Amino acid sequence: MAALTEEQVMIKDQAVAWVTKKTPVKKFREMRDADLEHSFSAETWAEMAEMGWAGLLVPEQYGGSGLGYLTFGLVLEQLGTQLTASPLFASALVGASAIMLAGSENQKLALLPTIADGSAIVTLAVEETARHAPEKIALSAEKASGGFKLNGSKTFVLEGMAATTFIVAARTSGKAGDKTGISLFIVPADTKGLSRIKRNTLDSRGYADVVFKDLVISEDALLGDVDEGFGILESVLDRARAGIGAEMLGCASQSFDMTLEYLKTRVQFGKVIGSFQALGHRAAGLFTQKELARSCVEAALQAIDDSIDKDSGVTKESKAGEIPKMSSLSKCKVGDFLHAMSNELIQIHGGIGMTDEFDAGLYLKRARVLETAYGNQAYHRNRFAVLSGF
124-135 pLDDT per residue, tens = 999 999 899 999
Of the three residues 87, 119, 151, the one that is the final residue of a domain is: 119
Of the three residues 66, 92, 119, the one that is the final residue of a domain is: 119
Please tell me whether residue 143 adopts helix, strand or coil conformation: strand
pLDDT mean over 329-345: 97
pLDDT mean over 81-108: 98
Q: In this structure, what CATH number is given to the domain that contains residue 110?
A: 1.10.540.10
Q: What is the pLDDT of residue 311?
A: 60
Q: What is the pLDDT of residue 278?
A: 86
Q: Are 301 and 69 in contact (CB under 8 A)?
A: yes
pLDDT value at 318 more than 70: no
Indicate the burial class of 361 (C-beta count within 10 angstroms; 0-12, 13-18, 19 or more): middle
Q: In this structure, what CATH number is given to the domain that contains residue 302?
A: 1.20.140.10
Q: Which domain holds residue 62?
A: 6-119
Q: What is the pLDDT of residue 332?
A: 98
In-domain check, residue 1: no
Please tell me whether residue 83 adopts helix, strand or coil conformation: coil
pLDDT mean over 31-55: 95
Residue 279 and residue 364 in one domain: yes
Q: Are 142 and 173 in contact (CB under 8 A)?
A: no
In-domain check, residue 208: yes
The residues, any chain, with a CB within 8 Å of residue 389's CB and separated by 6 or more, are: none
Residue 195 and residue 276 in one domain: no
pLDDT confidence tier of residue 309, bands split at 50, 70 and 90: confident
Residue 292 and residue 382 in one domain: yes
Residue 193 and residue 261 in one domain: no
131-145, 254-268, 358-372: which range is least confident on average?
254-268
Of the three residues 199, 223, 247, the one that is the final residue of a domain is: 223
Tell me the per-residue pLDDT of 245-295, one tens digit each, with 9 for 90 and over. Answer: 999 999 999 999 999 998 888 878 888 877 788 889 999 999 999 999 999
Q: What is the pLDDT of residue 35?
A: 87
Residue 162 and residue 248 in one domain: no
CA distance 257 to 255: 6
Instruction: Fill in the amino acid letter for 237.
Output: L
pLDDT confidence tier of residue 370, bands split at 50, 70 and 90: very high
**Distances, alpha carbon 265 to alpha carbons 24, 146, 259, 277, in Å:** 22, 68, 10, 16
Q: What is the pLDDT of residue 312?
A: 57
Residue 177 and residue 244 in one domain: no
pLDDT mean over 18-25: 96
pLDDT value at 217 more than 90: yes
Residue 22 and residue 162 in one domain: no
pLDDT mean over 36-52: 95
pLDDT mean over 72-97: 98
How many domains does one find in the chain?
3
Residue 291 and residue 205 in one domain: no
pLDDT mean over 3-13: 94
CA distance 184 to 121: 17
Q: What is the pLDDT of residue 274?
A: 75
Residue 156 and residue 98 in one domain: no
Average pLDDT, the chain: 94
Tell me the per-residue pLDDT of 344-359, one tens digit each, with 9 for 90 and over. Answer: 999 998 888 888 888 9
Please tell me whether residue 156 adopts helix, strand or coil conformation: strand
Residue 236 and residue 161 in one domain: no
Q: In this structure, what CATH number is given to the domain that contains residue 210?
A: 2.40.110.10
